[in-house]
Amino acid sequence: MKQFLAKSSVALFVTCMFSATALLASEPGQDEPHWGYEGVAGPEKWGSLKSGHKVCGEGERQSPIDIKPSQAVQGKTLDDIFVHYTDAPLNIVNNGHTIQVNSDGHSKAVIGGKEFSLVQFHFHEGSEHTVDGKRHPMELHLVHQSEVGELAVIGVFMDIGEPNEAIKTIFDNMPTQAGEQKIDDSIKINATDLLPDRRGYYHYLGSLTTPPCTQIVEWYVMKEPITISEAQHEQYRKLYKGTYRPTQELGKRKLLHK
């Protein structure tokens, strides 16, 4: 089955399917202010675009951050991440800010000892987290929600190197217009193919990295990157470039690692 849906039906579909998808996709509707990554609606202005977005400017638990490995504390009680991701039919949205792949609800993960469902994953051009100030070419965010609504996001840096087959499937099917969605049951995606072999991570408590910047995210940023080819990076950059929020102060928060 192949479908190309109009903008309004994408928003409706996403909202009905997953509350977290609606929250995180931030598809601008009629009552949502426009936001972007530069200019008058850029990250410095997000906190003043709408009263509900104040935490973008004033919050003390914001994301992303610059990760300083020398300051990360070994988390002796941190659990391994266990993923049980399954093959899911391709369901991909261009939401005007990113390319987002929606899960079918069957992919699970145990993160921090709690069970989560994979809701969606999406990309940032220019990584959002940096390591000792270094920005990676891209970053993947795998967004998970627990039964009671907690959010855990696994961040994966994407460096230039060997091409990634799963990325090829996704990037070759990216809708080019904002608001466009593509569903194709004959194409399967398994998010396991987007994780590095070693699953060591940095962990801290943070926020959504897009408005409304809600401070409800347990972040798990993988130490080991995955790789994509230069051509795959360019393929994404034809749609989105520089889609990262500047790093925020760690402040009083602890950065742990495993």
Residue with Cβ nearer Zn ion (23 or 189): 23
Provide the b/e sequence for 117-138 (b: ≥16 CB within 10 Å): bbbbbbbbbbbbbbbeeebbbb
Task: Name the active-site residue from 27, 125, 128, 218.
Answer: 128
Q: Which amino acid is at 213?
A: C
Residue with Cβ nearer Zn ion (41 or 184): 41
Residue with Cβ nearer Zn ion (141 or 258): 141
Residue with Cβ nearer Zn ion (141 or 203): 141
Catalytic status, residue 34:
no
Catalytic status, residue 128:
yes
For residues 225, 231, 232, 234, the Cα torsion angle rounded to the nearest 10 degrees is 100
- CB nearest Zn ion: which residue? 141
Catalytic status, residue 233:
no
* CB contact set of 33 (below 8 Å; sequence gap of 6+): 41, 49, 50, 53, 211
- Read off the tokens for 92: 């991909």
Q: Are 219 and 63 in contact (CB under 8 A)?
A: yes
Closest distance of CB 63 from Zn ion, Å:
9
Catalytic status, residue 38:
no
Residue with Cβ nearer Zn ion (61 or 141): 141
Residues 112-141 that bind Zn ion (CB under 5 A): 141
Q: What are phi and psi of 179, to 5 degrees?
A: 95, -5
Closest distance of CB 209 from Zn ion, Å:
5
Q: Are 182 and 175 in contact (CB under 8 A)?
A: yes
Per CB under 5 A, does 245 bind Zn ion?
no
DSSP 84-107: E---EEEEEEE-SS-EEEE--S--
Catalytic status, residue 124:
yes
Closest distance of CB 97 from Zn ion, Å:
9
Catalytic status, residue 122:
yes
Closest distance of CB 186 from Zn ion, Å:
28
- Read off the tokens for 220: 């798990």
Task: Name the active-site residue from 21, 27, 98, 122.
Answer: 122
Per CB under 5 A, does 97 bind Zn ion?
no
Residues 137-156 that bind Zn ion (CB under 5 A): 141
Task: Name the active-site residue from 21, 27, 53, 97.
Answer: 97
For 65-180, strand residue ranges (E) read 66-67, 73-74, 82-84, 88-94, 99-102, 108-111, 114-125, 130-131, 134-135, 138-145, 151-160
Which chain residues interact with Zn ion by CB under 5 A? 141
Residues marked as catalytic: 97, 122, 124, 128, 141, 209
